[in-house]
Structure 1
Amino acid sequence: MVKYEWRKAEKELYLPKTTPMYVEVPAFNFLTLKGQGDPNRTAFKEQIAALYSLAYAIRMKLKNQGFEYTVYSLEGLWTLPTAPIIPGQFDKADLQYQIMIRQPQQATKMDLVEVLEKVRIKKPNQYLDQVNWETIADGAAVQILHVGPYDTESESFAKLDGFCKEHQLERKNHLHREIYLSDARRVVPEKRKTVLRYSV
C-alpha cells in the first residue's frame, strides 16, 4: 500500500515560498466547524480536537479499505465584522472563523456519518455534532508562506497586498485562509510555518 503524502504531491498549494505567488485553488471537501472569539481560549482547542477526532477516524476507515494517507493540516478561514482601523490591530474576541481539515477525494460525506457515532463514544466532545461536510473552492488566489508568530502575520499580508497592487489584482472579500503546517504545541512561535492565502 503506497501512502499518499499531500505535502509532496501538492507542493504548490501547501509549500509556497516566503514571497507572494498567484495560484488557482480547485474545490476540495472539508470537515468544517464555525465559531467566533479568541483562538487562545479553551473552546477553540476543543473544536480543533473534534475535527481531528473525526479526521483520524475517516483516515482509519479508508486505510482499512486500502487507501492510506497523511491527515491534512488544520486550516482556518478568518474575518472580522468590520475591517480594523489600523491594519493588524483588533480585538481577538471579535474574530469570526471557520476551521477545517481537508479530506481526500476518496472520502465521502457518508464516511463522516458512519464514523460519527463511534467517535462520540470513544472521544466525547460537545462540538462533534457541529462539524459539517462542505465543498469549498478558493479559486483565483494569492498566497505566501509566513514564518514566525501568528501575531506578525500582518507583515506577510502587507507583501500580499503589494503583490496584488503590482499585478492589478483585487481582493475578493475580507476572508483569508490560514493553513497551519506547524503544530503550535510543539513548535516555538519564531519557527512556525503558516500558509496565508486570500481570493482575488
Structure 2
Amino acid sequence: MDKVDYKKAFKELYQPGTVPTAIEVPQMNFIQVDGHGDPNEPDGEYQQAVEILYALSYTIKMSLKKEESIGYFEYVVPPLEGFWEIEDNEDYDVNKKSKFVWTSMIRQPEFVDEAVFKIALELTRRKKPQMLLEKARFVSFTEGLCVQCMHLGSYDDEPATLEKMRKFIETNGMVFDLSEERKHHEIYLSDPRKGTPSSRKTILRYPVKRI
C-alpha cells in the first residue's frame, strides 16, 4: 500500500494558489503545543515546541507500525502548522514577534486518538526524558469556513498577501470570524532552515463567516 501523503491527497487544503479562495476545512486530528514569544529566538520556547511535536509525530509514525489493532497505515508526516495572535488582543503584526501568542501543531493520521497519543507520550518520554512532553496535547476539531492563500517569500512580507485576502473577503460577502477558537492559521510547506526566505511557501488561512 502506498504511503498517504496528505499534501497530495488533500490538494485543496495544502496546495492553494496565490489567489485567495474560500474553503470548508473538515475535522482533523492534531498534536498541539502552546507558547508565547519570538519564534526566531534560538533555543527558545517555539523551537522547543517544534522539537516536541516532531518527536511525538515520528514516534507514532515509526514505533507503532506493528500495532495492527489501532488501524495503522503508512503515511508521510504532515507539515508544521500554527495558530497566531498578538497578546492583549492587538491587531496581528509580524513586527511584534515578542508579543506573539501561538499554538504550534502537526496533523495526525485518522488512526490517532487520545489512547494512541498517550502511548506515544510514554514511548517518547523513555527516549527523551528531558523533553517537556506535558506541554503537548491531542485535539480533534473542525475549522470550518475559511479563506486561504499561498504566500511566497519571507514571513515578514505576509502583510501583502493578507491584504489580498482582506479584499477577497470584503468583495465576496464575508467577514473575518476571529475568536478564541478561530485564529490566524499558517501551514509551513518549506523548511525555514533550508533555502532562502524568498523561496518559502506558506499557506495563510483565516476563519470567516458569510454576511
* TM-score (norm. length: structure 1): 0.93
Secondary structure of the 1:40 match is: coil
Q: Which amino acid aligns with 2:198?
A: E
CA offset at residue 22 of structure 1?
Answer: 0.4
Q: 2:85 matched to 1:83?
A: no
Q: 2:60 matched to 1:58?
A: yes
Give the aligned length.
Answer: 198
Superposed CA deviations along residues 157-177 of structure 1, whole A, max 9, x for unmatched, are 000000001101110016200
Superposed CA deviations along residues 145-190 of structure 1, whole A, max 9, x for unmatched, are 0010000011110000000011011100162000000111113100
1:45 — aligned with what?
47
Q: 2:101 matched to 1:96?
A: yes
CA offset at residue 83 of structure 1?
Answer: 2.7
Q: Which amino acid aligns with 1:74?
A: L
Structure 2 unaligned spans of 5+: none
Q: What RMSD in Å do the two structures reach over aligned CA positions?
A: 1.5
Superposed CA deviations along residues 116-145 of structure 1, whole A, max 9, x for unmatched, are 122122133433111000112210000000
Q: Is the 8 A contact 2:84 2:102 kept in 1?
A: yes
Q: 2:80 matched to 1:74?
A: yes
Secondary structure of the 2:165 match is: helix
Counterparts of 1:83 and 1:155 in 2: how far apart (Å)? 19
Percent same amino acid at aligned positions?
Answer: 38
**Residues 54-63 or 138-147, more deviating:** 54-63
Return the match for 1:133 from 138, 142, 167: 138
Structure 1 unaligned spans of 5+: none
Secondary structure of the 1:68 match is: coil
CA gap of 1:89–1:183, structure 2 versus 1, over 3 A, is closer
* TM-score (norm. length: structure 2): 0.89
